[in-house]
Amino acid sequence: MNSSLPLARRSNTLSSSLGLGEKLFASSSERRFADAISEGLDQVEAGLLSEMSFTDDLADVTSRYLLEAGGKRVRPVLTLLTAQLGSGNNPDVIRAAMAIEITHLASLYHDDVMDEAAMRRGVPSAQSVWGNSVAILTGDLLFARASKLVAGMGEQVIRLQADTFERLCLGQLHETIGPREGEDAIAHYIQVLADKTGSLIAAAAQVGVMLSDAPAEYREPVVEFGEKIGVAFQLIDDVIDLSSRTDETGKVETGKVAGTDLRAGVATLPLLYLRHDAATDADAAALLARIERDIDPSNDGADDSDLTAAIAELRDHEVTKRTLDEAHRWSSDAVASLDPLPKGPVKKALTRFAATIVERNN
């Protein structure tokens, strides 16, 4: 491990992936910890480029499309981070971190087809470029490649990968069909977030503990942390969705207008809260009616400026503050789940990561 790396580089991996700054790791042991994460991620990045190459020309291009578009690599960094609770980086930890990221990328191809998303990571989504069939099959290829990576890591890791894949699919299925009759819509939505986002973050954290021979009693805390911080992450996204996102020049990014999810028919938590309140609050009912009228695809006469105004009103409404409060609650609960972990840079990094999740504004 090269402890002579500049501090800026040592902290860059943790800063860009988990939102952690240089000052968090000041002691020599903490700097060695930051080095381990940075060097491990270098190995993961090199491995991803190799593992996501295919002899078929089209598959080779489509499979690396979203990888090369960017991404913060949060999940592999979490695997590398929790591995420091045990023996640290080893070949299996690196391969598992790669498999987790490939699984995440595969899910993005499928999600974008299901959501009819136009953009992903600042580029046109895969199905916008090649069509739905190619995007779906590319996701399938990546899921297969991730499975090959974990195939030699033992039954526990294979089962974890399979269980996580199952939850990703169930989460997407339940989001697609919506709550059943009589089912609480908000509880249903939170479970979808736990399945679609929390499950893979939890798996990333758990596999780092498993493959580094860290004490078994650390598994449950990091799994609970991952599940809960995944929900918090998505709830903050629900709030962010209500504001347009701009580039460095202040120009609104393509596909990032205010209410992108709502316009696509996705019922985020602020809207679910609004629907709940509309039963007893006339003002909430009126705002809900305006939003649902203007996002209805059959309403050819809808005026986008009316919808934009309604989304701005929703952004300033009490239900959005309630969503933000709920995100903070999930983040706080995630940190509380880390109590059994020993004091040190891993716990410090996870705690700070939870804080940065709810401090995001884009």
Say if 352 falls within a structural domain.
no
Residues 6+ apart with CB under 8 A from 37: 13, 14, 77, 80, 81, 84
Say if 255 falls within a structural domain.
yes
Q: Look up residue 138 and give its two tokens.
A: 């590319």
Q: In terms of domains, do 193 and 108 share one? A: yes
For residue 322, what is the domain's CATH number?
Answer: 1.10.600.10
- Give me the domain span that covers residue 339: 228-345
State which of 179, 214, 249 marks the end of a domain. Answer: 214
Mean pLDDT of the chain: 88
Say if 222 falls within a structural domain.
no
Higher pLDDT pick, 360 / 275? 275
CB neighbourhood size of 282 (10 A): 8
Tens digits of residue pLDDT in 65-82? 999 998 889 999 999 999
Tens digits of residue pLDDT in 144-167? 999 999 999 999 999 999 999 999
| The predicted structure's pLDDT at residue 249 | 36
**Distance of alpha carbon 156 from alpha carbon 5, whole angstroms:** 36
Query: Which residue, chain included where needed, has tokens 């090649």?
Result: 130
Segment 319-327 mean pLDDT = 97
Say if 253 falls within a structural domain.
yes
Q: In terms of domains, do 157 and 65 share one? A: yes
HSE value, Cβ hemisphere, 13 Å, CA-based, for 58: 10
pTM: 0.89
Q: In terms of domains, do 303 and 203 share one? A: no
State which of 214, 239, 256 marks the end of a domain. Answer: 214
| The predicted structure's pLDDT at residue 9 | 41
Q: In terms of domains, do 288 and 240 share one? A: yes
Q: In terms of domains, do 49 and 198 share one? A: yes
**What's the domain count of the chain?**
2
Tens digits of residue pLDDT in 240-295? 999 875 444 334 444 567 888 888 888 899 999 999 999 999 999 999 999 998 88
Higher pLDDT pick, 55 / 5? 55
Q: In terms of domains, do 202 and 244 share one? A: no
| The predicted structure's pLDDT at residue 195 | 97
Q: In terms of domains, do 255 and 134 share one? A: no
